[in-house]
């Protein structure tokens, strides 16, 4: 098996023009407004690994996920999957063949399933699109196998999505993703719309499937408990940029970036360790008019003058990479994490 990463993301960025229509701008003399959803995002994902992106809502996680699979074209940077560029403008036969090996599981299972189609047709669509099944009998058999694989009955194939619970609908979405026999799956908040008990079932199912088929995951979530259960490595995003990339065990044991620490400090103390907890303070700034220097400095207790004028870059600080002036200058030492010893990647 190749030791090269399956997925490589380099300096990925996305800028949206959110200006008013041209005539309104002329009449009101309003300026052009640009929203930077992601900037300079760089990471790689090894084969059979789960790389998680975490951060508050509005940090750019889902935008990055959509750019990786080609649903949103990047404004800058490049995505390479198994040596094939996903961002080159020219269509290529290699890239077309690669698309079968990439699938996505969305946040809201009911919204991502066609309500007018029976489950059998929903799961069979990738089989037809990528010519995985040779005929109708083989297609029907394969759909039944996939339903069993995700814990449903083959007889459920004649039902419609509204006849299932939220957890069952997400199982159907997982079966659809698996039908094309992919190698790489992007999971965009796949459990955030589900009850906690159902979340655990879906996460365990996804881990079992990963071991069984050798899948590689890009996992998007704002829930640190979910990330702790799933991730091998974690990238923490803030206002469209990565601020820390670290092995999961190390991040929860000794977080380095002040934003990562703030997120971990807000985790409820379920183990009754009597360690003090602190709610996340402030809100993510407006991405149209971000603060100068480090975007996190208005909320950071360690901010000093350099943070207000100079944007930090992601620097290696073994075993993690951190974008923080205070860490770079030794003002912040690695500290004990709130979930130490609880990671099972």
Mean pLDDT in each 10-residue stretch from start to end of the chain (345 residues)? 85 94 90 93 96 93 93 93 81 76 89 93 91 85 95 94 93 94 94 85 94 96 88 95 95 91 77 58 86 93 92 87 92 58 34
Cis peptide before 298 (omega within 30 of 0): no
Q: Over the Cα atoms of the chain, what is R_g?
A: 22
pLDDT in tens, 154-194: 999 999 999 999 899 999 999 999 998 999 999 999 988 78
Residues present in the chain in total: 345
Tell me if 32 sits within 8 A of 19, measured CB to CB. Answer: yes
**DSSP assignment, residue 190?**
T
Q: Beta strand 241-247 with 216-220: parallel, antiparallel or unpaired? A: unpaired
Q: Which of 110, 237, 106, 240 is nearest to 177 (CA)?
A: 106
Residue keyed to tokens 């300096």 = 11
Condensed to tens digits (0 to 9), the pLDDT of residues 95-119 reads 778 888 999 999 888 888 999 999 9
Buried b (16+ CB within 10 A) or exposed e, 12-24: bbbbeeeeeeeee
Torsion region of 305: left, alpha or beta (phi above 0 gives left; psi -120 to 50 gives alpha): alpha
Using the 8-state DSSP alphabet, how is residue 170 labeled? Answer: H
pTM (2 d.p.): 0.89
Q: Say what angle helices 136-149 and 119-129 make with each other, to 10 degrees.
A: 120
CB-based contact 266:277 (threshold 8 Å): yes
What is residue 270's predicted lDDT score, i.e. its pLDDT?
Answer: 56
What confidence score (pLDDT) does residue 111 get? 86
Distances (CA, A) of 71 to 46, 80, 86, 104, 260: 22, 15, 10, 10, 29
- Cα 336 from Cα 236, distance rounded (Å): 17
Cis-peptide, bond into residue 337, ω within 30° of zero: no
Give the other-Cβ count within 10 Å of 70's Cβ.
17
Domain boundaries, the chain: 232-336
């Amino acid at each position: 098996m190749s030791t090269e990463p399956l997925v490589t993301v380099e300096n990925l960025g996305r800028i949206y023009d959110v200006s008013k229509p041209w005539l309104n701008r002329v009449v009101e003399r309003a300026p052009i407004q640009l929203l930077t959803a992601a900037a300079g995002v760089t990471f790689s994902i090894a084969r059979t690994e789960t790389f998680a992106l975490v951060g508050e809502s509005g940090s750019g996680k889902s935008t990055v996920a959509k750019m990786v699979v080609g649903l949103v074209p990047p404004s800058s940077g490049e995505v390479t999957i198994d040596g094939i560029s996903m961002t080159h403008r020219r269509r290529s036969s290699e890239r077309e063949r690669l698309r079968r090996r990439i699938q996505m599981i969305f946040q809201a299972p009911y919204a991502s399933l066609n309500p007018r189609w029976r489950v059998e047709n929903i799961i069979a669509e990738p089989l037809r699109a990528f010519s995985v099944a040779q005929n109708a009998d083989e297609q029907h058999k394969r759909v039944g196998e996939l339903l069993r694989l995700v814990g449903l009955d083959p007889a459920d194939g004649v039902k419609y999505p509204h006849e299932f619970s939220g957890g069952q609908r997400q199982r159907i979405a997982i079966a659809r993703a698996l039908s094309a026999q992919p190698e790489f799956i992007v999971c965009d908040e796949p459990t955030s719309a589900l009850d906690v008990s159902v979340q655990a079932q879906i996460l365990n199912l996804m881990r079992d499937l990963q071991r069984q088929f050798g899948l590689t995951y890009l996992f998007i979530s704002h829930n640190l408990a979910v990330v702790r259960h799933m991730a091998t490595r974690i990238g923490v995003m803030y206002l469209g940029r990565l601020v820390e990339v670290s092995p999961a065990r190390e991040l929860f044991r000794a977080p380095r970036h002040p934003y990562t620490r703030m997120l971990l400090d807000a985790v409820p103390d379920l183990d009754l360790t009597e360690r003090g907890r602190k709610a996340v303070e402030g809100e993510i700034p407006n991405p149209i008019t971000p603060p100068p220097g480090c975007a996190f400095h208005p909320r950071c207790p360690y901010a000093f003058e350099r943070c207000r004028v100079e944007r930090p870059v992601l620097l290696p600080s073994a075993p993690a990479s951190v974008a923080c002036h205070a860490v770079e200058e030794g003002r912040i030492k690695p500290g004990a994490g709130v979930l130490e010893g609880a990671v099972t990647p």
